[in-house]
Amino acid sequence: MWIFITVLMLNVWAIPADDLFSPNINILEELGKMKIMETRMESMEKEMERLRTENTAQAKKLEEFHVAMNDRKIKMDELIKQNEAQAKELDTLRGTTNDVKIKMDDLIKQNEVSKVAFSVSLSSSNGPHGTLQTLIYKHIFLNNGDAYDANTGIFTAPMKGVYVFRVFSKAYGSSKGGISAGLFRNGQHEISTYAVQNSGFISSSNGVSLLLEKGDEICVNLYPDFVINDNEYHHSTFSGHLLFPM
């Protein structure tokens, strides 16, 4: 209303005093035009106010959007860091698992290799001889690890460790001699079996634990002028096994 009055006063002042009462001036028509202008201006003001309100709301929504996006970025960065940490942890676990697998494989291989044991018998009599004679035990009860060679009568240590050996010798006694056989390591005497009797069966046994290096050779030698008897009943035997590796 105040806008209308203001516009009216401006228009009135703009008309010369002589023209106010001129028959060419239609005051009502002018007033109608000014009323239309006032209505349009009020509509424009309302539209501008609506636009201001809408812009304010949009600005608020935009600010909220920026805040939300910033929060999402922060959360995304945290997730990326967590994923990187988990990836590193997973790599560590994979490395640890691989190390454990390697150690387990080594233990399994070592366990398989460490299963060394043999037990053999002569199956036939031997002697007497004029020199030291290596006894070849032909009948094999057990040869786990294939460390005993039935062609040479020699046991070869497959690894360093403590080994247990036993020698059991049997013969028929006579006035000419008895039984005497010794266990040798790399050609050096370690232990002996020995028995003398004029008649009847005689026997002797002995055993020893030895620390062997890989490749050491063990065999049983019959001493000169002595005999050792065996048959299908396997009276004279030679056996050994790995007690534990070193």
Query: Is 137 within 8 Å of 238 (Cβ atoms)?
Result: yes
Give the pair of three-digit tokens for residue 242: 């790995």
| Contact (CB, 8 A) for 225 and 177 | yes
3-state helix, strand, coil in the chain (%, to 5): 40, 30, 25
Q: What is the mean pLDDT of each run of 10 residues along the chain (246 residues)?
A: 49 51 65 83 86 88 87 88 88 84 75 83 90 96 96 96 96 76 97 84 92 98 92 94 93
What pairing do the DSSP bridges indicate for beta strands 154-156 and 217-222?
antiparallel
pLDDT on residue 133: 95
DSSP letter, residue 57 = H
Pick the closest to residue 184 from 216, 159, 158 (CA basis): 216
User: N- to C-terminal Cα distance for the chain?
Assistant: 113
Q: How many helices (H) and strands (E) does the chain have?
A: 2, 11
Phi-psi region of 102 (alpha: psi -120 to 50; beta: other; left: phi over 0): alpha
130-to-36, 38, 139 alpha-carbon distances in Å = 150, 148, 25
Residues 6+ away with beta carbon under 8 Å from 31: 8
Q: In the prediction, which pLDDT does 24 show?
A: 55
Q: Of the candidates 116, 99, 144, which has an alpha carbon nearest to the alpha carbon of residue 216?
A: 116
At residue 7, the pLDDT reads: 47
Global pTM reads 0.57
Q: Residue 230 in contact with residue 122, Cβ under 8 Å? A: yes
